[in-house]
Structure 1
Amino acid sequence: MNEKQVAWGDLSLFLAVAREGGLSAAARTARCSPATLGRRMLALERALGRELFVRHDRGYELTAEGRRLLADLEAVEAGIGRATRAPRRGERPLVKISAGTWTTLRLLDALDDIVGTPPDVRLRFISAEAVLDIAHRETAIGLRNRRPTSEGLAGRKLADVEFAPFAAPGAPRLWIKVAADTPSALWLDAHVGEEVSCEVSAPRNSLDLALAGKGMALLPTFLGDAQKGLRRVGDTIPELAHEQWLVTHRDDRHLPEVRRAIDRLCRVLAPTRGGS
Structure 2
Amino acid sequence: MSNFDWNNLQSFLAMARAGRLTVAARRMGVDHSTLSRRISALEDAMHVKLFERRPEGFALTPEGEALLGDAEEIESLTVRMGARLHADTSKLTGNVRMGTPEGFGTYFLAPQLAHLSHKHPDLNIELVANPRSFSLSKREADIAISMARPNQGRVYARKLIDFGLGVYASRNYLASHAPITTRQDLLAHGWIGYVEDLMWTSELDYLPMVDRNIQPKLHISNVISQLTAIEGGAGLGVLPHFMARQSPVLTRVLPTEIHLTRAYWLITHPDTHNLARIRACCDFLTEQAFARGSDYWMSELA
Q: Does TM, normalized by the shorter one, top 0.5?
A: yes
Partner of residue 273, structure 1: 297
Q: Please say if 1:200 is aligned against 2:201.
A: no
Task: Output aligned runs, 1:253-268, within 5 Å.
Answer: 253-268=273-288
Q: Compared with structure 1, are the counterparts of its residues 211 and 92 closer, same or farther at alpha carbon in structure 2 (3 Å cutoff)?
A: farther
Q: Compared with structure 1, are the counterparts of its residues 213 and 92 closer, same or farther at alpha carbon in structure 2 (3 Å cutoff)?
A: farther
- Tell me the distance in 2 between the aligned counterparts of 1:194 and 1:252: 44
Q: Give the letter aligned to residue 264 of structure 2.
A: Q
Residue 183 of structure 1: CA displacement? 3.7
- Tell me the distance in 1 between the aligned counterparts of 2:204 and 2:157: 26
Q: Compared with structure 1, are the counterparts of its residues 178 and 129 closer, same or farther at alpha carbon in structure 2 (3 Å cutoff)?
A: same
Q: Of residues 188, 191, 203 in structure 1, which corresponds to 2:207?
A: 188
Q: Indicate conservation of the 8 Å contact 2:223/2:239, yes or no.
A: no
Residue 208 of structure 1: CA displacement? 1.2
Partner of residue 219, structure 1: 239
Instruction: Give the secondary-structure state (helix, strand or coil) at the position aligned to 2:229.
Output: helix
Residue 234 of structure 1: CA displacement? 2.8
Partner of residue 96, structure 2: 95
1:207-238 CA-to-partner distances (Å, cap 9, x unmatched) read: 11122333323111222223333221234755
Q: Compared with structure 1, are the counterparts of its residues 202 and 243 closer, same or farther at alpha carbon in structure 2 (3 Å cutoff)?
A: closer
Q: Compared with structure 1, are the counterparts of its residues 91 and 249 closer, same or farther at alpha carbon in structure 2 (3 Å cutoff)?
A: closer
Q: Give the letter aligned to residue 186 of structure 1.
A: D
Q: Compared with structure 1, are the counterparts of its residues 118 and 142 closer, same or farther at alpha carbon in structure 2 (3 Å cutoff)?
A: closer
Residue 142 of structure 1: CA displacement? 1.0
Instruction: Give the secondary-structure state (helix, strand or coil) at the position aligned to 1:115.
Output: helix
The aligned length equals: 196
- Tell me the distance in 2 between the aligned counterparts of 1:116 and 1:176: 39
- Tell me the distance in 2 between the aligned counterparts of 1:231 and 1:224: 8
Unaligned runs of 5+ in 2: 6-32, 42-90, 175-188
Unaligned runs of 5+ in 1: 10-71, 81-89
Task: Output aligned runs, 1:237-256, within 5 Å.
Answer: 237=258, 241-256=261-276
Q: Compared with structure 1, are the counterparts of its residues 154 and 98 closer, same or farther at alpha carbon in structure 2 (3 Å cutoff)?
A: same
1:156-178 CA-to-partner distances (Å, cap 9, x unmatched) read: 32221222112222224532222
Instruction: Give the secondary-structure state (helix, strand or coil) at the position aligned to 1:267.
Output: helix
Q: Indicate conservation of the 8 Å contact 1:163/1:241, yes or no.
A: yes
- Tell me the distance in 2 between the aligned counterparts of 1:219 and 1:129: 14
Instruction: Give the secondary-structure state (helix, strand or coil) at the position aligned to 1:139.
Output: coil
Partner of residue 79, structure 2: none
Task: Output aligned runs, 1:75-94, within 5 Å.
Answer: 76=37, 93-94=94-95
Q: Kindly, what percent of the aligned residue pairs are identical?
A: 21
Structure 2-normalised TM-score?
Answer: 0.53
Structure 1-normalised TM-score?
Answer: 0.57
Task: Output aligned runs, 1:1-276, within 5 Å.
Answer: 76=37, 93-105=94-106, 106-117=108-119, 119-150=121-152, 152-172=154-174, 174-179=190-195, 180-181=198-199, 182-183=201-202, 186-188=205-207, 191=212, 193-194=214-215, 196=217, 198-235=218-255, 237=258, 241-270=261-290, 271=293, 272-273=296-297
